[in-house]
């Protein structure tokens, strides 16, 4: 039990639709990162939020966007879904603004785009 | 070439065997993580290392910063150790860079 919960656990969407995935972090964890994990691959960094501001972004297009809220929850939004967006989406939370603290991962949301 | 490379990609062993999974990286890092991922997706952090060696139960992790190499060892392996083991490195303040994972299967 990591104290990080994601919802929903599974989701099926149609190409072109929009999706919002949610993550509830541990209390006091003001940094949250989102990752995309394609089948058989390691997770890829999408972006990170620290104190409700995006402070790092991986190689993902602008249709991937996020929000972080004062209650330690966050969202990942993906617009204009493509088939290749099908993946497991993971969020990880930690305290502090640097990476040298332990990260706690959620169970992930498995998104299927058809 | 990936910045973080793991070997082997797949490993099958018998219960009780000593297991070693290797991780090499090509970038400067401030810390390295070993993670465990079970079917269904959830990831659990096993170790975070910046130097030397750490031990937790039957798991041991070592890192050699000069050689940019880390190993995860499992002693007296058990079928419940079957999972994907992922090495990830801190690159800058914003992100973890992950290896592709090692799928470990321990047969009874």
Please give the average per-residue pLDDT across B62-81, as a whole number.
96
Q: Residue B1 has what pLDDT?
A: 66
Mean pLDDT of chain A: 90
What is the C-alpha separation between B39 and B76, in angstroms, rounded? 22
Q: Residue A1 has what pLDDT?
A: 63
In a 3-state reduction of DSSP, which class is residue A68? strand
Q: Residue A96 has what pLDDT?
A: 63
Mutation site, A3, A8, A42, interface B, largest B CB count within 10 A: A42
Which has more pLDDT, B1 or B19?
A: B19
- Looking at the complex, report in whole angstroms how far the Cα of residue B69 sits from the nearest Cα belonging to chain A: 18
Percent of chain B residues past pLDDT 70, beyond the cut: 96
- Asked if B95 reaches chain A (Cβ–Cβ under 8 Å), the answer is yes
What is the C-alpha separation between B62 and B53, in angstroms, rounded? 4
Q: Residue A99 has what pLDDT?
A: 56
Q: Residue B96 has what pLDDT?
A: 84
- What residues in A contact B99, CB-CB < 8 Å? 42
pLDDT category, A3, cuts 50, 70, 90? Answer: confident
Q: Residue A101 has what pLDDT?
A: 73
Do the Cβ atoms of B100 and A41 come within 8 Å?
yes
- Asked if A86 reaches chain B (Cβ–Cβ under 8 Å), the answer is no
What is the C-alpha separation between B30 and A53, in angstroms, rounded? 23
Q: How does pLDDT run across B6-22, given as a tens digit for each residue? A: 999 999 999 999 999 99
Do the Cβ atoms of A100 and B30 come within 8 Å?
yes
Q: Around Cβ B90, how many Cβ atoms within 10 Å?
A: 23
In a 3-state reduction of DSSP, which class is residue B42? coil
- Looking at the complex, report in whole angstroms how far the Cα of residue A79 sits from the nearest Cα belonging to chain B: 23
Decide: B86 and B101 in contact? Cβ < 8 Å. Answer: yes
pLDDT category, B62, cuts 50, 70, 90? Answer: very high
DSSP β-ladder status, A109-113 and A10-13: parallel
Residues 39-78 of B with CB under 8 A from A: 40-45, 48, 50
DSSP β-ladder status, B10-14 and B4-7: unpaired
- Looking at the complex, report in whole angstroms how far the Cα of residue A14 sits from the nearest Cα belonging to chain B: 22
- Looking at the complex, report in whole angstroms how far the Cα of residue A17 sits from the nearest Cα belonging to chain B: 24
pLDDT category, A94, cuts 50, 70, 90? Answer: confident
In this complex, which of B48, B50, B94 lies closest to A55 when CB atoms are compared?
B94
């Amino acid at each position: 039990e990591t104290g990080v919960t994601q919802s929903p656990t599974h989701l099926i969407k149609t190409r072109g639709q929009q999706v919002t995935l949610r993550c509830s972090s541990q209390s006091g964890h003001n940094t949250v990162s989102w990752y995309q994990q394609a089948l058989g691959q390691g997770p890829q960094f999408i972006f990170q939020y620290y104190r409700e501001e995006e402070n790092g972004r991986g190689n993902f297009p602008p249709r991937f966007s996020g929000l972080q809220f004062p209650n330690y929850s966050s969202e990942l939004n993906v617009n204009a879904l493509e088939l290749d967006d099908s993946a497991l989406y993971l969020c990880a939370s930690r305290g502090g603004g640097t990476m040298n603290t332990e990260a706690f991962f959620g169970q992930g949301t498995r998104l299927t785009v058809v | 070439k990936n910045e973080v490379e793991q070997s082997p990609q797949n490993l099958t062993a018998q219960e009780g065997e000593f297991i070693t999974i290797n991780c090499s990286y090509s970038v400067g890092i401030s810390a390295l993580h070993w993670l465990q991922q079970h079917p269904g997706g959830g990831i659990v952090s096993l170790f975070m290392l910046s130097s030397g060696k750490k031990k937790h139960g039957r798991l041991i992790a070592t890192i050699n910063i000069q050689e940019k190499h880390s190993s995860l060892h499992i002693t007296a392996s058990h079928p419940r150790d079957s999972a994907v083991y992922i090495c990830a490195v801190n690159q800058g303040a914003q992100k973890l860079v992950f290896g592709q994972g090692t799928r470990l299967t321990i047969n009874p």
